[in-house]
């Protein structure tokens, strides 16, 4: 079952962010992840507008996602994180199949 990384990102330094993004993208691909949204501006329908960007990455499974997060290749990207961005990082498991709604 797919699993997702959802991140709300506030960019602190664009140059550092570019290096973090480059290294993170390579590590994500290495673990079978793919971007569904990358630094997308969000439109807030309810709640407070934060000015943060959204990143959503899909992995084949929660196990693979956690392997990526603990990997040496992602650790290289993390060296730039604190200078590049401030964020909230969320892991969430997908659903196996959506039930059909009665029509």
Instruction: Give the domain ranges of the chain.
Output: 3-93
Q: Are 7 and 81 in contact (CB under 8 A)?
A: no
Quick check: 35 pLDDT over 90? yes
pLDDT, the chain, mean: 92
Q: Pick the closest to residue 91 from 64, 62, 71, 68 (CA basis).
A: 62
Quick check: 41 pLDDT over 80? no
Quick check: 13 pLDDT over 90? yes
Q: What is the pLDDT of residue 98?
A: 67
Q: Pick the closest to residue 61 from 28, 24, 40, 32 (CA basis).
A: 32
- The CATH number assigned to the domain with range 3-93 reads 3.30.70.100
Helices 72-84 and 14-30, interaxial angle, to 10°? 160
Q: What is the pLDDT of residue 45?
A: 87
Q: What is the pLDDT of residue 6?
A: 96
């Amino acid at each position: 079952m797919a699993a997702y990384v959802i991140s709300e990102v506030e960019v602190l330094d664009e140059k550092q962010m570019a290096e973090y993004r480059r290294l993170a993208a390579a590590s994500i691909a290495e673990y079978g992840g793919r971007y569904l949204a990358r630094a997308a501006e969000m439109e807030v329908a309810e709640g407070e507008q934060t000015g943060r960007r959204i990143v959503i990455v899909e992995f084949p499974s929660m196990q693979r996602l956690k392997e990526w997060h603990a990997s040496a290749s992602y650790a290289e990207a993390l060296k730039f994180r604190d200078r590049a961005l401030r964020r909230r990082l969320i892991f969430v498991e997908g659903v196996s199949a959506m039930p059909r709604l009665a029509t």
